[in-house]
Amino acid sequence: MTEEGQSPARVVVVDDQTVVREGIVMLLGLLPGIEVVGSAGDGDEAVRLVAELAPDVVLMDLRMPRCDGVEATRRIRAEHPGTQVVVLTTFADDESLFPALRAGARGYLTKDAGGDEIVRAVRSVLSGDAGLAPSIQRRLLERLSDPEPQPAVPIQAPDGLTTRETEVLLLIADGLSNQEIARKLHVSTATVKTHINNLFAKTGLKDRAQAVRYAYAKGLVRPPTG
């Protein structure tokens, strides 16, 4: 796939599983237009390698110890903007996909991608396009077509609650779990937990049952009629 006179793309592979990492390196070594210049077992090592080797592209796993792929992507894109990041992961859920794209990844593939698909993604991000697996493209289109949540938030939230904390409170009152709230608001479950901790601290609430009663008492939620 390398055009005549075109240099191969210099790639660093990042994955915390040694067998997987070595397998990817071996696969890439057989592909035209790809030169593997290094590999790393976690995000910290990946950032160091990018600073040392200045690769064109990093193939980045997401769930790794110490420094995960999202944080590593953010640091690489901030400190080394000449290096593009293509995520190569097992996971295609919203909590993996959207934080990675927000961190600066230009491509996103799952580990069932074939060699040709990896080469296309690498070449796409180097040419300024996105290198996304078809399933990821569909997920993005679905996300764009979903109506944005519009919780009924009062103009003046009680007890100094922020708009987002009040949104979370209303969703708790609707019976949603932390994961369901995260999906509805397009944030991580860790962010939801932070909002819940903050609203509990501001209101003196101790659990979700008290939060539901509080929402009704403050007139944020009206009892069903009929």
Q: How many CB atoms lie within 10 A of CB 27?
A: 15
Phi then psi for 138, rounded to 5 degrees?
A: -65, -40
User: Residue 204 pLDDT > 50, yes or no?
Assistant: yes
Kindly state the greatest CA–CA separation across the chain. 75
Q: CATH homologous superfamily of domain 9-144?
A: Response regulator (3.40.50.2300)
Q: What does the DSSP 8-state code read for residue 3? A: P
Q: What does the DSSP 8-state code read for residue 95? A: H
- pLDDT per residue as tens digits for the range 76-123: 999 999 999 999 988 877 677 888 888 899 999 988 888 889 999 999
User: 158-217 has which CATH code?
Assistant: 1.10.10.10
Q: What is the pLDDT of residue 96?
A: 77
CA dist., res. 28 & res. 67, Å (int): 24
User: Residue 155 pLDDT > 50, yes or no?
Assistant: no
Q: What is the pLDDT of residue 193?
A: 92
Q: Where are the domains of the chain?
A: 9-144, 158-217
- pLDDT per residue as tens digits for the range 15-57: 999 999 999 999 999 988 899 999 999 999 999 999 999 999 9
What tokens appear for 189 in the block?
Answer: 């479950």
Q: What is the pLDDT of residue 143?
A: 63
Q: What is the pLDDT of residue 226?
A: 44
User: What whole-number percentage of the chain has pLDDT above 70?
Assistant: 87
Q: What is the pLDDT of residue 42?
A: 94
User: What whole-number percentage of the chain has pLDDT above 90?
Assistant: 42
User: By the 8 A CB rule, do 34 and 11 touch?
Assistant: yes
Mapped onto helix, strand or coil, the DSSP state of residue 192 is helix
